[in-house]
């Protein structure tokens, strides 16, 4: 069934048991992002410790894809230098825009590779990128404020 290709077990696990969820203090900057076609939203906070992403916390309302991808995001970027976090983001964005044509690198994207099937559904790509757009914006705001 096609549906299982899209909703990999990993995605459903992150959806049901999200990592790092809940807004926490302290934080340097916060970003609110909304998907205007469906109303899904995420508020995401970033705490930087020099060049290191020391915490990402978030809250939101949305579908399994948007919530699970934000959960995976926290696994991928917390504790990493900003440059490396952005490389992972670029790899994830490239994967999501690939229409299923890219073989993702598990070393870089870890659980994020489960979203390869989602990239075959153009209407859901925005869902998968919602949290990442918030992360990018929050980091830019943190660095702007610093």
Which residues are at the interface with another protein (CB under 8 A)?
1-3, 6-7, 12, 37-40, 61-65, 121, 124, 127
Which of residues 61 and 97 has its CB atom nearest to another protein in the complex? 61
Backbone phi, then psi, for 70, in 5-degree steps?
Answer: -70, -35
| Choice between 2 and 50, CB closer to another protein | 2
Q: Which residue has the tokens 């970033």?
A: 46
Closest to 73 in 3D by CA, of 132, 21, 24: 132
Q: Are residues 50 and 142 in contact, defined by beta-carbon separation less than 8 angstroms?
A: no
Provide, rounded to whole angstroms, the least separation between the CB of residue 38 and another protein: 4
> Chain-centre distance of CA 91, in angstroms?
12
How far apart are CB 31 and another protein at their closest, in Å? 19
- Report, in Å, the least distance between residue 58 CB and another protein: 16
Q: Six-digit token pair at 106? A: 């598990």
Min dist. Cβ of residue 33 to another protein (A): 15
- Cβ closest to another protein, residue 52 vs residue 63: 63
Q: What is the DSSP string of 28-44?
A: SEEEEEE-TTT--EEEE
Contact 41, 32 (CB under 8 A): yes
Which is nearer to another protein, 78 or 118 (by Cβ)?
118
């Amino acid at each position: 069934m096609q549906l299982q290709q899209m909703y990999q077990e990993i995605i459903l696990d992150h959806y049901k048991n999200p990592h790092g969820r809940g807004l926490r203090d302290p934080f340097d900057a916060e970003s609110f992002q909304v998907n205007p076609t469906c109303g899904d939203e995420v508020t995401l906070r970033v705490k930087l410790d020099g060049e290191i992403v020391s915490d990402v916390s978030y809250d939101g309302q949305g579908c399994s894809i948007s919530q699970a991808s934000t959960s995976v995001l926290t696994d991928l970027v917390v504790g990493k230098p900003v440059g490396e976090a952005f490389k992972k983001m670029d790899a994830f964005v490239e994967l999501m825009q690939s229409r299923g044509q890219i073989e993702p690198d598990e070393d870089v994207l870890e659980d994020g590779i489960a979203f390869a099937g989602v990239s075959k559904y153009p209407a859901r790509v925005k869902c998968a990128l919602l949290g990442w757009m918030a992360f990018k914006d929050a980091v830019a705001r943190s660095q702007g404020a610093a």
